[in-house]
Amino acid sequence: MSIPAGRAIPEPTIIEGDFVPTREVPFSSALDELIAAIRKGDAPNLGRFCGYCCTPLRKRDETCPTCGTSEREAAPREKISRSLAEIYTRKRKREGRWVHGAAWSGLVLGTLISVLLIMTLPGWTKILAVVFMIVGSYFIATYMANVLVQNRAYRSGLEFFARGWSVYLHTREQGRLEDD
């Protein structure tokens, strides 16, 4: 995904530690969940979506809750753009790589500690090292993935989405999207 020349990558807006969607980075949690359900085959790619950012709209919505675009600015769409759905899917994969990498690192660290304990503990106390390998590795992996890395993974995903959105918007403005 390359950024077009002269187009700046928008920064995700973070206020008090929480992401706030804007017109420049209109990431929608509702759309993210819907795309995941569509990919699993649990939902159809049909409905009423914002004409600008594809956020799902209720029948009574006249403006998008994510980007603030009104129906007069951009007519609602009936389906989600395949190109945009791919950006959301890649964002999830990027976050997953961070979290899974941290979890596997925690498991490896716990196993290494257990091996060291097995090599140094005398006799029957080696059983404690085996217990630590099972229980301790789980807690280390959980801590590393859910506490140490999760926030960074989310921010990395948002930054990835911002780049992808910039490219998507440029391509859409040029009229070169095959599924729009």
What is the pLDDT averaged over residues 137-158? 94
Angle between helix 29-40 and helix 82-120 axes, rounded to 10 deg: 80
What is the pLDDT averaged over residues 59-74? 92
**Would you state the pLDDT for residue 16?**
84
Write down the mean pLDDT value for the chain. Answer: 90
Domain ranges of the chain: 13-173
Per residue in 7-28, is it b (16+ CB within 10 Å) or e — as a string? eeebebeeeeeebebeebbbbb
Judge whether residue 120 has pLDDT over 80. Answer: yes
CB 114, CB 130: distance < 8 Å: yes
What contacts 24+ positions apart, CB below 8 Å, involve 148-151?
A: 148/102, 149/98, 149/99, 149/101, 149/102, 150/99
Beta bridge partners of 81: none
**Would you state the pLDDT for residue 2?**
60
Judge whether residue 132 has pLDDT over 60. Answer: yes
**Would you state the pLDDT for residue 176?**
79
pLDDT interval class at 180 (50, 70, 90):
low
pLDDT interval class at 10 (50, 70, 90):
confident
CA–CA separation, 108 vs 23, rounded Å?
42
CB 91, CB 39: distance < 8 Å: no
Q: What global pTM score does this model have?
A: 0.83
**What are residue 63's phi and psi, to 5 degrees?**
-130, 150
